[in-house]
Amino acid sequence: MTTAQKIKDIEEEMAKTQRNKNTEYHLGQLKAKLAKLRRELITPAGGGGGGPGIGFDVARTGIASVGFVGFPSVGKSTLMSKLTGTHSEAASYEFTTLTTVPGTLNHNGARIQVLDLPGIIEGAKDGKGRGRQVIAVARTCNLIFIVLDVLKPLNDLAILTNELEGFGIRLNKKAPNITIKKKESGGVAITNTVPLTKIDATEIRAVLSEYRMSNAAVSIHQPDATIEDFIDVVEGNRVYVPAIFVLNKIDAISIEELDLLYKASIPNSVPISSQQWLNIDELLEVMWDKLNLVRVYTKPRGQQPDYSSPVVLRRGRCTVEDFCNAIHKEIVKQFKNAMVYGTSAKHARGQKVGLDHVLEDEDIICIFKK
């Protein structure tokens, strides 16, 4: 029996099992088994590297990468081509893009890699089409554009989210605040600092039993944590990626219809028309915010700051030392101190700082050597 068939059988059994106190342990085990089978699809056994595959291995460039995900013929390739100047075959029929097409977008002084991925089909997470390769690339991106046809966004969004979730991609979520520590003995001890409203000890023990973890200390600090959250922590292979839901082809609907769509409430969405090039500025602004990048301008001693080519860093890795290393590794060896002006400085006239100082977006820095 194939992995996909095993997944289907478990899903069917879960669907017909009524949830109550008597079935919680059984359902917990089924959900754990399902997660383990999904892992087999993410990292298939046997054969070499387990990488994305021919046509999907792309050399990474730039400070960040944005992956375009969507069903065939939603306008991904047109948007990609116009944003980057890279030709990604576009046509009105399905499956035009057959491999990952990389391009580069320059925005706010940052070089951002854009990856146009082949259209996902329903069932990709179960091995249909090229779903495994497509989503393997999506897992490595810093941001995902879910490109949707504005005429049918809700149904398509639900399907795509389900496909990505099936491959361990969590969109616009943070890792659950749950810790699991294996022990030598003592059984399973569960502590929580928040009320457990959607998960109980029976389900937790069922999942740990399926993973052969008979001795463990579990601490839950996540409000409204679910058994799915708990399984994510046990698996340990989930990726948490920000996403923008790009509602394309708004030129095909009226203003009134667009207003109704907003009332349908799709958070993190931006309506655009790639064909007519409408509202692209807003899309780029939201993209920049989601990528969480930090621009730092250099100021040579005794001169004005250079605003033409900032050094772009990733938030969380934007200390003065990170800045120096981004320019040249040797700078740190000769570093004495730095003057920083901007949001991170304590004073408007600037602040003298060391290598561990954390920089903020649009700070200005002047480096002094020994």
Residue ranges of domains in the chain: 3-47+176-237, 64-173+240-291, 293-369
pLDDT of residue 205: 95
Mention the CATH class of domain 64-173+240-291: alpha beta
Closest CA to 90 of 274, 281, 279: 274
pLDDT of residue 42: 64
- Which 3 state secondary structure label does DSSP give 333? helix
Distance between CA atoms of residues 203 and 35, nearest Å: 14
Query: What would be the CATH architecture of the domain defined by 293-369?
Result: Roll (3.10)
Q: How many CB atoms lie within 10 A of CB 300?
A: 10
pLDDT of residue 62: 87
Closest CA to 69 of 38, 32, 100: 100
pLDDT of residue 127: 58
pLDDT of residue 128: 60
- Which 3 state secondary structure label does DSSP give 149? strand
Distance between CA atoms of residues 154 and 245, nearest Å: 11
Distance between CA atoms of residues 346 and 365, nearest Å: 14
Closest CA to 92 of 117, 111, 73, 67: 73
User: How far is residue 201 from each of residues 17, 99, 137, 207, 220, measured CA to CA in Å?
Assistant: 19, 45, 36, 10, 11
Q: How many CB atoms lie within 10 A of CB 299?
A: 19
Q: Tens place of pLDDT for every residue, the chain, 370 residues?
A: 788 788 889 989 999 998 888 898 999 999 999 899 888 766 655 444 445 544 456 677 889 999 998 887 888 888 988 999 876 554 443 444 456 788 899 999 999 999 888 766 666 666 565 566 777 788 889 999 999 999 888 889 998 998 888 888 999 999 999 999 999 999 999 999 999 999 999 999 999 999 999 999 999 999 999 999 999 999 998 999 999 999 999 998 888 888 877 666 788 999 999 999 999 999 999 999 999 999 999 999 889 999 998 999 999 999 999 999 999 989 999 999 999 999 999 999 999 999 999 999 999 999 999 8
| DSSP structural state of residue 198 | B
Report pTM: 0.83
Written as six digits, the tokens of 43 are 């990292």
Distance between CA atoms of residues 142 and 145, nearest Å: 10
Residues 6+ apart with CB under 8 A from 249: 74, 75, 149, 150, 151, 273, 274, 275
Q: How many CB atoms lie within 10 A of CB 290?
A: 20
pLDDT of residue 167: 80
Q: 3-29: string of b/e by CB count within 10 Å (b at 16+)?
A: bbeebeebeeebeeeeeeeeebbbbbb
Written as six digits, the tokens of 227 are 């058994």
